[in-house]
Structure 1
């Protein structure tokens, strides 16, 4: 798909379809919280529904045959965030079809509204079998680069189709040309390129999560990391085999891996460009399949068929690494770490009640083999903690408890440092991805007390996401700032929503890219 910026305006553009994004009109004083502020004159002139601006009226009358006026009236269009109306313009017009998309109130608008509006336009174009599409969008905060990047991200995310495992593509994407109108190419073109580079990483993460466990294995993740390193002079890849992990005392990680026929792979990707002013580590949970072990996932609601997604944290880490390889931020060093394995059932499987020793010497009583992700992360965090970085963030599809607490669209965040938490929050906000900071409630750690070991790997169901984070914190010793992101809900979707299609979402890639970019500035 060719996406370009153009100084052409909507009055002179010719092609298949035009998408127009507009703000909602100001609310009538009658709708205000304080009725006494409404004057008789204001009431008479207040807008009911959506009123076309002078520029939009001119476009409607001169180019679109008053189609917009009809659509607004018939569709009761308000301009509210995400609202849209569309229709055919008719024959003998420069544009065949048009869609009007709401951005909501200007004061409440964010760049993500542009991203979502662009996604609405792109999905509509796909349904209508449109080949050439023009976008007439206002600039977000008068910033051409931010607007252009958000628009392109929305288009590419919405039109990505993962049909690798389908025998026949019944509805191929016909959209080949998208033009962002009245936009200076000199300002927009670098932003368009940046958006494509970031979404390249998101798509990698999506496809890793969506692929079945007989396609994406620990070996696949290691190969993916090596491929990223091979394409960039600023990346190096180190893959630790089972013997290497044994030498480092990674008893927690290897305890999980020991039942699988596939070998574990401990992945360490390093990005370094220039003289690093900051050193960060990103640790992703890499369970390519989680059967639950001897605490086998069984029965309705166990979601065992979706446990291919249990490497969503590692997919985000590798997706971010791929995007960073393209973007090449300077003066920063970033370590991407994944302890990749399967959690399977066999005669070699770890038992409930087994005691494992992590690489920092701490002992763990395994009271539930289905809480295995935190065991693999334990050794990965110890490894990252020894690298001399200033901050670590781990990402994991760790708990169902987090999904119960925050739903399927919001990730949980725990952090031991307020500044690091704020940096992650800002990076997430700019990406349109949602995290909610949760408490590291230290008294809850009492649930993990063990009679025979330093602690157990699970507590009670109450506060399960919190005790999971507290467990992981035991493996941070030297690094001053650490955060845990539980992404169990948002990495997968059973439905089309916003700019995500059903399947792997690539969640957290854009947050990680923004975070790294902020520290390289």
Structure 2
């Protein structure tokens, strides 16, 4: 059960509860907070800081038991220099403090952070998200739970009740992130194409959304030869999922979110080999998890004036006597023929038909998310997703939405000359180009299935969808990356 998170105007000298976490700047900037701590708890706090050589650097965390006092636990978190402090650092500090308090068994936690320089609503949302998402623990597949529950009540100090609405909205966003995490983390024998369709059906039933699921015959009738080529090697039937949110009033914008939905990727006949993490290819549906999580949050938040469509072409990429051959030529639903020179570049084949379908909805913008290329991981690592778009306005709005939610994006080039690498002597194009610039040619491939002049962006989340050790708000494992970016973008109305 999620903790009860409340805003309070109390500060670190007046708040009363069993555990208190205080953020301290480094150097002289943290002296005023240190004086307040000494004033309330005595010089013993200063002695402990000196003994532990606590400098207030980012990432530092110190717990002090205060015997016979209230609070009985004091958690001190380093914030670094004030000039470097912003929403991202606030999230990191709150996450560290929350995890420390949970480890200590705190039942109630007060968070005293320097929020004066930040907009109250933004600070409240950032802190609430940091608390809930950092304490998330997936215990579904364990016979016995082995994680301590977090505090039942958390109070955000220095924030008036006016900011409580932002905390409430953050709960819907966190529910979406948690759904995405659970989908990505679940094994491929649990999250199948049918399971993704069932998840969409549950969201539709719970929040009154519209759902259409196209079966294999329906997709064949629409000419989705690219998508179905990937799906034909699996015994599990493909599911083409179309979930729609319609606002109560007039529609000013129509937006489409497209997520890659490979519930398992063996590589096909270009089989993934040892060292390729084939056991982790359950997370190749991270894009679909992000858009499903975003739709769950959007459905609860009910943004006005914006109609949102979610598209997922779900399937497995498997090996069998019926699997597609390397060298085969298939035709997508827009009539383009594709020479499949690598069956392990399957995500773009499914997205091709999904994007054609999305464009036929005549939207104002389309955004796709996919764990598409290892090349993007090499380029940007595990903390930044790649963004490709020919539309400056759309790219800017997505980067801003990501920054607001603590998810980093970096705009990458769509260099037209790289399209030469996708040329085929037999078909209109190949599904892969040369290895250099592989994430760019992948984006260029997708662009060929988007209506010209339509604002479109592609987000490659291959590096950000999973964290082996955990980072910031994200525990080890599935991160739910992309949900906050999409929800913030939709709530802002899409591209300006």
TM-score, with normalisation over the residues of structure 1? Answer: 0.92
- After superposition, the C-alpha distances for 1:187-226 in whole angstroms (9 at most, x for unaligned) are 1221111111100000000000000000000001111111
Query: 1:512 Cα deviation (Å)?
Result: 0.4
- What SS does the corresponding residue of 1:231 show, helix, strand or coil? helix
**Within 5 Å, which residues of 2 pair with 1:318-333?**
318-333=292-307
Q: Does structure 1 retain, via aligned residues, the 8 Å contact 2:196–2:314?
A: yes
Q: Does 1:61 pair with 2:39? A: yes
Report the CA distance between 1:142 and its aligned residue: 4.4
Change (3 A) 1:140 1:160: farther
Q: Distance in 2 between matches of 1:67 and 1:325?
A: 50
1:421 matched to 2:395? yes
Provide the alpha-carbon RMSD of the alignment. Answer: 1.6
**1:81-230 alignment, distance < 5 Å:** 81-89=58-66, 91-139=67-115, 141-185=117-161, 187-230=162-205
| Structure-to-structure mapping, 1:293-304, within 5 angstroms | 293-299=268-274, 301-304=275-278
Which residue is 1:445 aligned to? 419
Partner residue of 2:31 out of 52, 59, 62 = 52
> Quick one: distance in 2 between partners of 1:499 and 1:67?
31
- Tell me how far apart the structure 2 counterparts of residues 211 and 57 of structure 1 sit (CA, whole Å): 48
Whole-angstrom distance in 2 between the partners of 1:160 and 1:174:
9
- Give the total of aligned pairs: 492
Structure 2 partner of 1:306: 280
Find the aligned partners of 1:324 and 1:192 in 2 and give their Cα distance.
15
1:267-309 deviations in whole A, cap 9, x for unaligned?
111111021111111110000000000111111x211000000
Q: Does 1:381 align with 2:358?
A: no
CA shift for structure 1 position 498: 1.0
Q: Quick one: structure 1 residues 339 and 8, their matched pair in 2 at CA, closer, same or farther if it must change by over 3 Å?
A: same
Work out whether residues 385 and 479 of structure 1, in 8 Å CA contact, stay in contact via their aligned partners in 2: no
Matches within 5 A, 1:471-486: 471-478=445-452, 480-486=454-460
- Distance in 1 of aligned mates of 2:246 and 2:365: 16
The DSSP-based 3-state class of the residue aligned with 1:15 is coil
Q: Deviations over 1:386-442 (max 9, x none)?
A: 111121111000001110111111111110111111111111111111111111111
**Deviation per residue, 1:439-474 (Å, 9 max, x gap):** 111111111111110010011111111110010000
Q: Deviations over 1:341-387 (max 9, x none)?
A: 00001000000000010000000000000000000000000001111
Of 282, 301, 319, the residue aligned with 2:257 is 282
Counterpart of 1:80 in structure 2 is: 57
Give the aligned partner of residue 308 of structure 2: 334
Instruction: State the Cα deviation string for residues 315-358 of structure 1 (Å, max 9, x = none).
Output: 00000000101111000111110000000010000000000100
Superposition map of 1:341-356 within 5 A: 341-356=315-330
**Structure 2 regions of 5+ residues with no counterpart?**
none
CA contact 1:420–1:483 (8 Å) conserved in 2: yes
Q: Does 2:36 correspond to 1:21?
A: no
Q: Distance in 2 between matches of 1:174 and 1:395?
A: 32
3-state DSSP class of the match of 1:244? Answer: helix
Matching of residues 360-375 of structure 1 within 5 Å: 360-375=334-349
Verify the 8 A CA contact 2:95 2:472 in the aligned structure 1.
Answer: yes
Q: Is residue 6–residue 182 contact of structure 1 (8 Å, CA) maintained in 2?
A: yes
Shift in CA distance, 67/211, structure 1 to aligned 2, threshold 3 Å? farther
Structure 1: distance between partners of 2:207 and 2:197: 16
Instruction: Report the TM-score, using the length of structure 2 for normalisation.
Output: 0.96
Instruction: Give matches, 1:232-271, under 5 Å.
Output: 232-233=207-208, 235-271=209-245
What SS is found at the alignment partner of 2:14?
Answer: coil
Is it true that 1:8 corresponds to 2:10 in the alignment?
Answer: yes
What is the deviation of 1:174?
Answer: 4.4
Distance 1:3 1:67, change over 3 A: farther
Structure whose alpha-carbon radius of gyration is higher: 1
Structure 2 CA distance for aligned equivalents of residues 447 and 303 of structure 1: 27
Q: Which runs of 5+ in 1 are unaligned?
A: 26-46
1:32 counterpart residue number: none
Contact 1:354 1:366 in 2 (8 A): yes
Aligned residues of 1:395 and 1:487 also touching (Cα < 8 A): yes
Return the offset for 1:16.
Answer: 2.2
